[in-house]
Structure 1
């Protein structure tokens, strides 16, 4: 499914963009402007694991080093696996790290992370609607994102206010299952998952997460803005914010490995809103995409090598660690 979606986006680009003109734009690549994007990229890669660490409750919070290692491997894996497979891999890997947050709690932390990102990006995109008339595709993207993240936020609020009632509803919904052991396991997994969703328990913790979320997306927008001079393109800071926000929302759509096709499509489409030609926008999208893939893959492999992890270990039972709070990671 992810590969088909990527092929659809690639087809739209090939039909609507003069590829030879984009290649001519690429010939004016100036690598002397890459220092600032490199520094900003490192800041972003250091900030995201820190925010993810804070999402966990204090009793099940992994060390920053563990979060950075797992997050780096996850980003690298997203370049190799379809439909953001690296994100789910991240949950499995961090569940094996001390103090053993558990797979259910790890998945809950991923849900909260995506919720924070989605709401932040949605605010940026909706603010843009005050100044421009959005094209139909962007309005639909914002509507779908609003439904998804609004529903997730509503669920989070319900779990916070009515945890026992939600648990009763889950128990009632699985009462038809004949195996008592399986029924009890489903309820137990839900309890741990809901406990992870309510991991934000104080105003200072929420404030830190909001600040780090803002800093993360300011950095992402700054990378777009700083990368434009590499191709001698003039890009304003507000435009960079909108492009990074739309791209962030667009990449939440399942796609093939490394988001090939969808990455370029959303950048080209959004830059067109600011009067930038499609051929020029595609050239910048290709440079940005290649930059992200090289940085994340390189750091991911370096982290794996430094940790003594090999690719086949990621799916090997030999690498699994048991978790006292989760009876068995594989069974979950």
Structure 2
């Protein structure tokens, strides 16, 4: 089987990401024409939604800063606040949540004495807090949405259980066969797990409360955008929609969560309101504008002005890869020395 060159891989990946985008565009052309706000009340509501999203973004930056301080990452608060929109910009335009790696590489280049894995671990801690907060909201407030979901097909459920059991067996076999290598990998990942483990404390409870507050503010964004297009959402409805749509965004999708996010928004709004289809489409388009366009522009400007653009990211990534290779070589040399010493001890005891 011929090996794909890096250029062909990028082309293939681009085609894969374009498929859901094309599907969404095709779907939109089959809907009624959207109507956007033209009266003063609608425009004020839209401006208010933008302001609320700025507040939510600043709260997220403050939460990340506190996680970094707790993990003893020596960094400037200005970098934390600047890299937060850069990370969201990267998630919006790059596949596989590439913005998280952007934050890791750029902060790592400005935080001497802190490893990239520790910084990535703080971002993982953020995602854990978001997942727990969204889970709480879904269970407590979004049960009406969960009730709207179709009953699962038993054949699919049984197939999923079978696949899960096979994965468990394969993991057990791999654990027995490659025990030493797995232990080495787990040891190398330990710095990433440390920030998340620190959440099991009063500090973690405080951050969870802050995370719930962040999602309440973001729910207000959803409510304000709804008011701009004539869709009335209460606080419970806004929380239910924001929790369901962001949980759906965890599913791998194209940059900007094209496809999965859009389907989740439409499903959630239809579940809590009786809005006409044209209003729901207007809501989706305006919501995407508020949540994706300004922060992407701000993130790109900060990336270029403050951090030197993509060339700086590439240099930081290469430095991180060189650092990782050096760590692997040192660990391999230490393991080899341990094996030699063990064999010498065995030979001495035998003699």
TM-score normalised by length of structure 1: 0.74
1:136 aligns to 2:149 (yes or no): yes
- Displacement after TM superposition at 1:127 (Å): 2.1
2:255 to 251, 254, 257: 257
Report what 1:163 is aligned to.
none
Aligned partners of 1:41 and 1:223 also within 8 Å: yes
For structure 2, the 5+ residue unaligned runs are 1-12, 158-173, 328-351
Name which of structure 1's ranges 193-202 and 294-303 shifts more when overlaid on structure 2.
193-202
Aligned partners of 2:64 and 2:80 also within 8 Å: yes
Greater radius of gyration (CA): 2
Corresponding residue SS for 2:323: coil
Greater RCO, 1 or 2 (C-alpha within 8 Å, sep 6+): 1
2:36 to 21, 26, 40: 26
Distance 1:172 1:69 in 2: 45
Corresponding residue SS for 1:316: helix
- Displacement after TM superposition at 1:39 (Å): 1.6
Report what 1:286 is aligned to.
285
Distance change in 2, residues 1:185/1:255 (3 Å): same
1:91 aligns to 2:100 (yes or no): no
- Displacement after TM superposition at 1:101 (Å): 2.8
- Displacement after TM superposition at 1:248 (Å): 1.0
Aligned partners of 2:56 and 2:214 also within 8 Å: yes
How many residues are paired up?
293
Distance 1:240 1:246 in 2: 10
Report what 1:156 is aligned to.
none
For structure 1, the 5+ residue unaligned runs are 145-169, 178-182
TM-score normalised by length of structure 2: 0.71
Distance 2:200 2:62 in 1: 17
1 or 2, which has the higher helix percentage? Answer: 2
Distance 1:14 1:137 in 2: 25
After superposition, the CA RMSD in angstroms is 3.5
Corresponding residue SS for 1:283: helix
Cα deviation 1:237-295 (Å, max 9, x = unaligned): 21111111011101111111112222221110101112233332121011110222221
- Displacement after TM superposition at 1:95 (Å): 2.3
Cα deviation 1:31-54 (Å, max 9, x = unaligned): 333231122111111111111122
